[in-house]
Amino acid sequence: MATTTDRDTFTTVKKCIVLFGAAGAVVLGTVAVMAATGHTTTPFMWIRGVIFLAIVPFLHRLATRAAGGSAKAFDRVRTLSTVMPIAIIGVDLVPGLCPAWYAVLQGLSALALVAVAVLTRTSALAAAFPKP
């Protein structure tokens, strides 16, 4: 795990994770503004927004460790970046659980994790982290 291409890929992965965090901050900020202006918000919207924002440092730390050669961290980043967008979109599709604007913002934030999932499945990174 020492090639320039691998380092560049992990730099992009970390940027995508930061983008996920920024989008999460926008979602949480929007919920706060909606609540402050008298619109309906739910505990689900608040809790989910806070949890996703809180996950960002953990994901970033995992990506940093993976960039340093940790196969375990690489596998976790790869798995989480695949499962989370599916879970985010799947939950958003439950009728009546959240308003459409919230589902759209959450779905857009999930796109950054889709990019991480794609990047961590490149043949170069797969070769850098062979399965035992």
**CA neighbor of 66 nearest in space, from 55, 54, 79:** 79
Q: Per-residue confidence at 132, pLDDT binned at 50, 70, 90?
A: low
Residue-wise pLDDT for 9-63, tens only, equals: 999 999 999 999 999 999 999 999 999 999 999 999 999 999 999 999 999 999 9
Is residue 114 within 8 Å of residue 13, measured between CB atoms? no
- Greater pLDDT, 96 or 37: 37
- Residue 123, pLDDT above cutoff 70: yes
Query: 76: which 2 tokens?
Result: 């976790």
Q: Which residues contact 10 (CB under 8 A, 6 or more apart)?
A: 63, 64, 66, 67
- Residue 2, pLDDT above cutoff 90: no
Residue-wise pLDDT for 55-90, tens only, equals: 999 999 999 999 999 999 999 999 999 999 999 999
Determine phi and psi for 93, rounding to 5 degrees.
-80, -5
User: Cα torsion for 115, 52, 39, 111, to the nearest 10°?
Assistant: 10
Q: Which residues of 109-127 are buried (b: 16+ CB within 10 A; e: fewer)?
A: bbebbbbbbebbeeeebee
